Amino acid sequence: MRHHWARIEERGNIAGMRLMVATQRHLGSWPFRLLLWPVMLWYFLLHGTARRASQAYLLHLDPELSRHPCKRLWLSYRHFLAFADALMDKVAAWSGDIADARLTGSGIARFSDAIDAGQGGLILVAHHGNLDVVNALADRHPGLDLTVMMHTRNARKFNILLEHVTGRPRPDVLEVGEITPATAQSLAERLDAGGFVVIAADRLPLSGERSRRLDFLGAPALFPEGPFLLAALLRCPLYTLACVRENGAFIIDFEPFDDTRNLRRRERESWIADSMQRHADRLAQRVRDHPLQWFNFYPFWLNDTGSLHDLTP
């Protein structure tokens, strides 16, 4: 799979990233944006895979854009700018620079209630919005045991920058491709102790994990089966978590999705199929509500031959 997202090389260098962060911190938002626009234009012009993926995504949202190529290009560039904003929000979140007053949404109370219940659970997330902002919520619960399952190898530079700028390590991160029976047992013990495991349910790991073809924004796309199989095996409450930026505030949505504690083995297959499509449908609605905060800049949908699209449809 030549354009698997994990094979796409991370662009940029740490020195340039530090300059961007320093500009925002010491000079303010407008000087930062004056620097950001040409930087992202350069990235937009040179990174063809991401640019084509962005436009393909926009066309799935609005097929009418096929008749307006200039408008599509402009929206795609704004898509890149939104991604840059999200990266800076990520740095601010890990630096503790996001005030509680900027956090809003009914998900805040639900998140606290789930923690206080002491049951633990598996939290499904996606690369939409900025989930690192939720770190500000986690800081309200110093004893919270939070394990994040993700693929980090293609974002090493940015992760180094985060630790350098913020002076704090990221939470307990477990590589998605490194799940073993011992790992599953460890996760089960954490959940039993009231901890939470966060896992992305929208990207396929390189390990060749099983996937399913789902309808997403009106076209077929592959989604990983692993998060849902893990939920079935761990027999635990299952939640969804999202955080989007709107008018300077961060709206947090934390909702119960399902509970597998009473799931029978013979029901597992049908439950996984149904749950994966339900999750894809919920994600599609969030994407429609906040379209420029979708941050999967790689071929996502399948063509008629079952291969990933590399070119704009």
pLDDT digits (tens, 9 = 90+) for 106-131: 899 999 999 888 889 999 999 999 88
Domain presence at residue 73: yes
Query: What pLDDT, on a 0 to 100 scale, did the predictor assign at position 18?
Result: 65
- For the chain, the domain total comes to 1
The pLDDT-based confidence of 253 (bands split at 50, 70, 90) is: very high
For 48-59, b/e burial (b = at least 16 CB within 10 A) is ebbbbbbbbbbb
Whole-model pTM: value is 0.86
Query: What pLDDT, on a 0 to 100 scale, did the predictor assign at position 146?
Result: 85
A 10 A CB-CB count for 226 gives 21
Query: What pLDDT, on a 0 to 100 scale, did the predictor assign at position 168?
Result: 57
pLDDT of 10 strictly over 90: no
Domain presence at residue 55: yes
Domain presence at residue 39: yes
Q: Give the residue numbers spanning the domain of 183.
A: 5-293
The answer for residues whose C-beta is within 8 angstroms of residue 105's C-beta and 6 or more apart is 250, 251, 252, 253
Point out the least confidently predicted range of 177-186, 223-232, 245-254.
177-186
Is residue 103 within 8 Å of 249, Cβ to Cβ? yes
More reliable by pLDDT, 283 or 99: 283
Query: What pLDDT, on a 0 to 100 scale, did the predictor assign at position 185?
Result: 85
pLDDT of 163 strictly over 50: yes
Query: What pLDDT, on a 0 to 100 scale, did the predictor assign at position 52?
Result: 94
Domain presence at residue 256: yes
Query: What pLDDT, on a 0 to 100 scale, did the predictor assign at position 303?
Result: 72
Domain presence at residue 301: no
The pLDDT-based confidence of 8 (bands split at 50, 70, 90) is: very low
Question: Mean pLDDT over all residues of the chain?
Answer: 82
Mean pLDDT throughout 98-103? 79
Domain presence at residue 267: yes
Mean pLDDT throughout 33-41? 81
- CA angle 174-178-184, nearest 5°? 75
Mean pLDDT throughout 143-161? 68
The pLDDT-based confidence of 55 (bands split at 50, 70, 90) is: very high
Q: Is the dihedral of CA 15, 16, 17, 18 positive or negative?
A: positive
Query: What pLDDT, on a 0 to 100 scale, did the predictor assign at position 251?
Result: 95
Mean pLDDT throughout 185-212? 85
The pLDDT-based confidence of 9 (bands split at 50, 70, 90) is: very low
Query: Measuring CA to CA, which residue among 295, 301, 310 is closest to residue 217?
Result: 301
Instruction: Report how far apart the first and last C-alpha atoms of the chain are (Å, whole number).
Output: 19
- Tens digit of each residue's pLDDT (9 = 90 or more) over 60-86: 999 999 999 999 999 999 999 999 888
- Dihedral class, residue 68 (left if φ above 0, else alpha if ψ from -120 to 50, else beta): beta
The pLDDT-based confidence of 25 (bands split at 50, 70, 90) is: low
Is residue 247 within 8 Å of 216, Cβ to Cβ? no
Q: Within 13 A of 162's CA, how many CA atoms are on the CB side?
A: 20
Angle between helices 48-61 and 29-46 (to 10 degrees): 100
- Mapping DSSP onto H, E and C, the string for the chain reads CCCCHHHCCCCCCHHHHHHHHHHHHHHCHHHHHHHHHHHHHHHHHHCHHHHHHHHHHHHHHCHHHHHCHHHHHHHHHHHHHHHHHHHHHHHHHHHCCCCHHHEECCHHHHHHHHHHHCCCEEEEECCEECHHHHHHHHCCCCCCCEEEEECCHHHHHHHHHHHHHHCCCCCEEEEHHHCCHHHHHHHHHHHHCCCEEEEECCCCCCCCCCEEEEEECCEEEEEECHHHHHHHHHCCEEEEEEEEEECCEEEEEEEEEEECCCCCHHHHHHHHHHHHHHHHHHHHHHHHHCHHHECCCCCCEECCCCCECCCCC
Query: What pLDDT, on a 0 to 100 scale, did the predictor assign at position 84?
Result: 87
Mean pLDDT throughout 253-281? 97
More reliable by pLDDT, 82 or 156: 82
Query: What pLDDT, on a 0 to 100 scale, did the predictor assign at position 132?
Result: 80
Domain presence at residue 310: no
Domain presence at residue 283: yes
